[in-house]
Structure 1
């Protein structure tokens, strides 16, 4: 755990190139840039970046653990997402307000409630894959987006109808614009007219608020309101320790956070899952055998390994609120600390042969929360992590039960940035055959593709 200190500032080494050059390298080719920096300077690097300013990039698990176990009195939020999602989003809150909000939001996404949501996810998977073509290449990312968006909408609001249909159309557009705005300097996020990113986002947000206000009114007027299991109703019934409720505007912000962050990152991971397993024929065969036998251990390990090898989020960050010691370094107040998820997942001291895609590393060995960090960590770990994992398990299980996936020897798909999330450039291409119509085995690739 990091500690307050009055010791002299001591920052890690780093490049001396101008801020603009460092920023261009970091934001346009982040993975290559971070890889080069960690190879040259080690697992802690000082940077000078646009938007962030002076920052320390870390990937060493011991430093990551110290940061994630540090309380909200020492580190706070360091992200633009709160400005995009609204003042009531957990991305906008710090200190006691953030901690109290998390206490209210965690219960709907844990425990027995997950079992109730599983049926929703499977229904959405079956609905989407009904139109999948057989024997022809197609990108799976659009389908994964549909599945995860529909599932989170139903889990959040508990029903379907005209409002839900409009949200299905509105939210993907809103997420695309919001993702781009989140990585822009504050000046460029302003409303410069109806066609500017800020103006477009403001228009989408006005309509979103109108829809959510109507859904809140519908929920409150429902005679069965006290028994409704949807997230919206749970949030409306939730009370802080002093008996007060979350305001309607803050509920709208939190729901937008859940809907935006909860569907795109999960969908992108599922597309990467398809991309990875098709390049490992022996694993693909084992997964099919496991689902036929009613097992799930290898499926879960494969999901964990996809998240390790192809994390869809580059990093997570904190802002120091006081001068503090982190490992051997002393970091000043108002300094950004960036945790590189990709670099942490490639740490050779924590993962054997990290460049190799190997789900067996997680068999009987669940990932550690300070070396495997696709959901971030500490007091700001993703609230929907359990829901996202459930979505991926149910989706993978259903796909393996319904289809045979053709393996491929094609090179791995490159990364494509969607603003916040990194997706497979070709959309996680698949070729499938329905098990119900299979008359002969699909020819398999005789050797495994390179793990790159």
Structure 2
């Protein structure tokens, strides 16, 4: 782990372009820029970026582990999301306050509690796919967005009826505006009128707070309040060590945080999952056979591999709260350390043939939490990671049970930035047939063989279509 030091500052080399130029490159072509920096400067490079200022980019899992295992007294939060989500969000908290909040929030998202939500996920998947067309190519991303949004509203917010319907309309707009203004300098995040990003955010946030206030009141009036399983009720019942409760305002901030961190990212990963497996027909056959046999090992490995090769978030970051030693570098107080998730996932020392899509690498071998980091790591690892994994597992299992997914020889879909998440550029397109009543055309299983692909390798065309 990193440690405090009084040694002279020693930063890695980096580009000398002006801050604005570096910022524009980093914003518009981040993956290509980070890959070029890693090739030129090695596992660490110093950048000068708008908003962040002087920052150190790291790509090596060893350095990443050192950063993630460093105590909260040495490194803290380093994003604008806390200012967007509110003072009660975990993205706004540091030190002991952050540790105490996590202690209250972790139980609802682990163990038996997470599995208790599986029926909700399956219900939402079945409701959504009831309208899927057969034999016609369509985008799956919109469906995945609706599945994950509805699941969070029911399992986390405990919403139903009119509140459910309004939140389903309001929250995507709120998240879309918030993800944009989080990337803006502070002056541009202010309320500059109803048409400004800050003004739109304030308007959506006020209505969101009104709805959550009503949900909180409904939960407290419920005679079965003490037995309610939704995360909102669990948070209302939670108590700190001194017996105090989380304030209602902070609960609203945390619920919005959970939605922002989990809804779009999980949905986008599911769209990438469809995009990837359609280009590996033998893997599709094996997944279907495993689902019929009641197994899950290959399904889980496939989800992990999709998250490795197509991580929807490019990075995570920490701010040095005092001068620290990280590997061979000495980083001054106030500097940001940015972790590149795609580059960590492409490290050849940790992953054999890292550019290949090979779920078998994870069958019976869970990934290393410092080389495989789609949920971040350390004390700021995503609280909802287990919930998200459960959502993806149940969704994949249900789709395999209900549909035959037709493979494709089309090039892999390129990355498309949605602000927070990187989605498949064509929406994760699919062609499906219901297994219960319609047989797919003869020879469909051989459709991908024109490229000679297998479950353990990428078609050559894919390297240009979606390479990191």
* Aligned residue in 2 for 1:222: 222
* Aligned residue in 2 for 1:165: 165
* Aligned residue in 2 for 1:132: 132
Three-state SS of the structure 2 residue aligned to 1:103 is helix
- After TM superposition, give the deviation of residue 209 of structure 1 in Å: 0.3
* Aligned residue in 2 for 1:251: 251
Q: Is the 8 A contact 1:38 1:44 kept in 2?
A: yes
- After TM superposition, give the deviation of residue 437 of structure 1 in Å: 2.2
* Aligned residue in 1 for 2:393: 393
Q: 1 CA distance for matches of 2:367 and 2:448?
A: 30
Q: Deviations over 1:316-352 (max 9, x none)?
A: 0000000000000000000000000001001111111
Q: Give 4+ residue runs of structure 1 displaced > 6 Å after superposition.
A: none
Gaps of 5+ in 2: 454-458, 464-468
Q: 1 CA distance for matches of 2:326 and 2:281?
A: 44
Q: 2 CA distance for matches of 1:69 and 1:13?
A: 24
Q: Is the 8 A contact 2:159 2:215 kept in 1?
A: no
Q: 2 CA distance for matches of 1:214 and 1:281?
A: 49
* Aligned residue in 1 for 2:403: 403
Q: Is the 8 A contact 1:346 1:354 kept in 2?
A: yes
2:311 corresponds to 1:311: yes
Three-state SS of the structure 2 residue aligned to 1:87 is coil
Three-state SS of the structure 2 residue aligned to 1:339 is strand
2:453 corresponds to 1:445: no
Which deviates the most, 247-256 or 429-438? 429-438
Three-state SS of the structure 2 residue aligned to 1:192 is coil
- After TM superposition, give the deviation of residue 160 of structure 1 in Å: 1.4
* Aligned residue in 2 for 1:82: 82
* Aligned residue in 1 for 2:289: 289
- After TM superposition, give the deviation of residue 270 of structure 1 in Å: 0.2
Q: Is the 8 A contact 1:2 1:70 kept in 2?
A: yes
Q: 2 CA distance for matches of 1:442 and 1:229?
A: 47
Q: How does 1:82-161 map to 2 (within 5 A)?
A: 82-161=82-161
Q: Deviations over 1:7-47 (max 9, x none)?
A: 01000111111111111111110000000000110010100
Q: 2 CA distance for matches of 1:18 and 1:224?
A: 60
- After TM superposition, give the deviation of residue 159 of structure 1 in Å: 4.6
Q: 1 CA distance for matches of 2:115 and 2:374?
A: 23
Three-state SS of the structure 1 residue aligned to 2:272 is helix
User: TM-score, normalized by length of structure 1?
Assistant: 0.99
* Aligned residue in 2 for 1:210: 210
Q: 2 CA distance for matches of 1:32 and 1:271?
A: 22
Q: 1 CA distance for matches of 2:290 and 2:141?
A: 24
Q: 1 CA distance for matches of 2:352 and 2:64?
A: 19
- After TM superposition, give the deviation of residue 442 of structure 1 in Å: 5.1
Q: 1 CA distance for matches of 2:69 and 2:285?
A: 40
Q: 2 CA distance for matches of 1:210 and 1:291?
A: 43
Q: 2 CA distance for matches of 1:29 and 1:202?
A: 30
2:381 corresponds to 1:378: no
Q: 2 CA distance for matches of 1:106 and 1:393?
A: 20
- After TM superposition, give the deviation of residue 439 of structure 1 in Å: 3.1
- After TM superposition, give the deviation of residue 153 of structure 1 in Å: 0.7
User: TM-score, normalized by length of structure 2?
Assistant: 0.95
Structure 1 pair 442–134 and aligned structure 2 pair: CA distance change class (3 A): farther
Which deviates the most, 317-326 or 442-451? 442-451
2:7 corresponds to 1:7: yes
Q: 2 CA distance for matches of 1:153 and 1:367?
A: 30
Q: Is the 8 A contact 1:171 1:260 kept in 2?
A: no
Three-state SS of the structure 1 residue aligned to 2:318 is strand
* Aligned residue in 2 for 1:415: 415
Three-state SS of the structure 1 residue aligned to 2:133 is coil
Q: Deviations over 1:111-151 (max 9, x none)?
A: 11122100000000000000001111110000000000000
Q: 2 CA distance for matches of 1:113 and 1:81?
A: 27
Q: 2 CA distance for matches of 1:438 and 1:398?
A: 17
Gaps of 5+ in 1: none
Q: 2 CA distance for matches of 1:265 and 1:73?
A: 29
* Aligned residue in 2 for 1:41: 41
Q: 2 CA distance for matches of 1:146 and 1:159?
A: 15
Three-state SS of the structure 2 residue aligned to 1:433 is strand
Q: 2 CA distance for matches of 1:7 and 1:19?
A: 27
Q: Is the 8 A contact 2:86 2:92 kept in 1?
A: yes
2:191 corresponds to 1:188: no
Q: 1 CA distance for matches of 2:332 and 2:448?
A: 54
Q: Deviations over 1:345-390 (max 9, x none)?
A: 0111111111101001111211001000000000000000000000
**Coordinate RMSD, CA, aligned:** 0.9
Q: 2 CA distance for matches of 1:156 and 1:363?
A: 31
* Aligned residue in 2 for 1:262: 262
Q: 2 CA distance for matches of 1:147 and 1:442?
A: 31
* Aligned residue in 2 for 1:354: 354
